[in-house]
């Protein structure tokens, strides 16, 4: 089994959406109401993802692809999206970029999901290493991310990757009022 990390393509949108849906149900069930997860990740052949790709030309998305033995195409098993930091604390969706984001000083990891069947296989670590390499290559000094406060598994993963909580908290009203906390670290 070979897993490679590459830049996402517009044709990957449906597979990325499927990874997101599976990950949300596995990670957020019990934190976010089931019907909200279902609504936000409803299958749509990748239309939402394609719209996001087009609306955010400054966003970078990478995918983890598993080349499984046998007939058939390789499968996308994870993805990460990142770019300049957004002003999550002082705006509403869709968020504007912070001045540090616009200046290219602070990056943000917008999305980071691996298919649950691939958790604890090193796939997430490989994706994170690529994100950190790419943000450093783009000359960002720092990178931040937001993670659901009660998502203990993800928080442990980010802490092992060198991120620390910086004290900022945001309530996500559209997901039932769940709190998320901000983590940060040096980009390199």
Distance CA 2, CA 65 (A): 8
Query: pLDDT: is 95 or 155 the higher one?
Result: 155
Distance CA 109, CA 179 (A): 17
Its pTM stands at 0.91
Find the Cα–Cα–Cα–Cα dihedral 47, 50, 55, 59, rounded to 10°: 140
Total structural domains within the chain: 1
Q: What is the pLDDT of residue 73?
A: 62
Query: pLDDT: is 71 or 105 the higher one?
Result: 105
Question: Residue 109 belongs to a domain with what CATH number?
Answer: 3.40.630.30
pLDDT at 83 over 90: yes
| Terminal Cα-to-Cα distance of the chain (whole angstroms) | 29
Find the Cα–Cα–Cα–Cα dihedral 98, 103, 109, 110, rounded to 10°: 50
pLDDT at 179 over 80: yes
- Token readout for 38 is 């279902």
Give the chain's mean pLDDT: 90
pLDDT at 71 over 70: no
Continuous H helices in 29-148: 34-40, 47-55, 99-102, 123-137
Distance CA 108, CA 59 (A): 10
Distance CA 128, CA 126 (A): 5
pLDDT at 23 over 90: yes
* Structural domain harbouring 27: 2-186
Task: State the pLDDT confidence band at 10, using cuts at 50, 70 and 90.
Answer: confident
């Amino acid at each position: 089994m070979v897993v490679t990390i590459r830049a996402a393509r517009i044709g990957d949108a449906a597979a990325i959406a499927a990874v997101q849906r599976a990950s949300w149900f596995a990670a957020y069930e019990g934190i976010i109401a089931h019907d909200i997860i279902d609504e936000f990740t409803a299958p749509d052949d990748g239309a939402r993802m394609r719209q996001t790709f087009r609306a955010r030309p400054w966003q970078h998305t990478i995918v983890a692809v598993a080349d499984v033995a046998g007939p058939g195409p390789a499968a996308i098993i994870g993805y990460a999206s990142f770019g300049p930091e957004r002003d999550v604390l002082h705006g509403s969706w869709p968020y504007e970029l912070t001045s540090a984001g616009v200046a290219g000083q602070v990056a943000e990891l917008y999305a980071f999901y691996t298919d649950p069947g691939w958790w604890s296989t090193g796939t997430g670590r490989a994706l994170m290493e690529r994100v950190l390499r790419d943000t450093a290559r783009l000359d960002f000094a720092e990178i931040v991310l937001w993670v659901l406060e009660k998502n203990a598994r993800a928080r442990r993963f980010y802490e092992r990757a060198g991120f620390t909580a910086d004290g900022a908290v945001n309530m996500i009203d559209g997901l039932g009022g769940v709190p998320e906390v901000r983590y940060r670290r040096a980009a390199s």
